[in-house]
Amino acid sequence: MLKISNAVEIADWEIQITQIRAQGAGGQNVNKVASAVHLRFDVPHSTLPPFYKERLMALSDQRMTKDGVIIIKAQSFRTYEQNREDALERLKALIQEAVKQQKARRATRPTKASQRRRVDSKTRRGQTKALRGKVI
């Protein structure tokens, strides 16, 4: 059971976890031990609330397929258990980030003093560049 918030949880049967061999250079265990984890979570067929599903499907994330399946590959650690926990935490973070309300942006105007400072710095810079010309 993966707890997303106080009211939302994902059951274990909804998350498909498979063991795979980790990529990259390795030591003696690299070709023998399948310690990396492939996590698959099907958003449209999950028991998440509709609001969560809509926000997740609207994500433009490379971990999401066109069908709405989230695929996370975890291979940072040497043990299967640590990689499994890492993948679950990353799934939880992805879902929480998707449903977080974005702060509305309010348009503001620069102050008179900041506008004056900007123009003054531009004129100073222009004078410096003008002095670089040929001496007659």
Amino acid at 131: L
Give me the tens of pLDDT residue by residue for the chain, a chain 136 residues long. 888 887 888 888 989 999 888 777 666 666 667 788 999 999 888 888 888 888 888 888 888 888 889 999 998 888 889 999 999 999 999 988 888 888 899 999 999 999 999 999 999 999 999 999 888 7
Indicate whether 135 belongs to any domain.
no
Indicate whether 31 belongs to any domain.
yes
Indicate whether 121 belongs to any domain.
no
Strand-pairing partners, residue 10, are: 2
CATH number for the domain that contains residue 53: 3.30.160.20
Indicate whether 93 belongs to any domain.
yes
Indicate whether 68 belongs to any domain.
yes
CA gap 67, 1 in Å, rounded: 24
Indicate whether 105 belongs to any domain.
no
95 lies in which domain range? 2-99
CA gap 98, 52 in Å, rounded: 8
CA gap 111, 128 in Å, rounded: 26
Indicate whether 88 belongs to any domain.
yes
The total domain count for the chain is 1
Over the chain, what HEC string results? CEECCCCCEECHHHEEEEEECCCCCCCCCCCCCCCEEEEEEECCCCCCCHHHHHHHHCCCCCCECCCCEEEEEECCCCCHHHHHHHHHHHHHHHHHHHHCCCCCCCCCCCCHHHHHHHHHHHHHHHHHHHCCCCCC
Indicate whether 15 belongs to any domain.
yes
pTM of the entire structure? 0.69
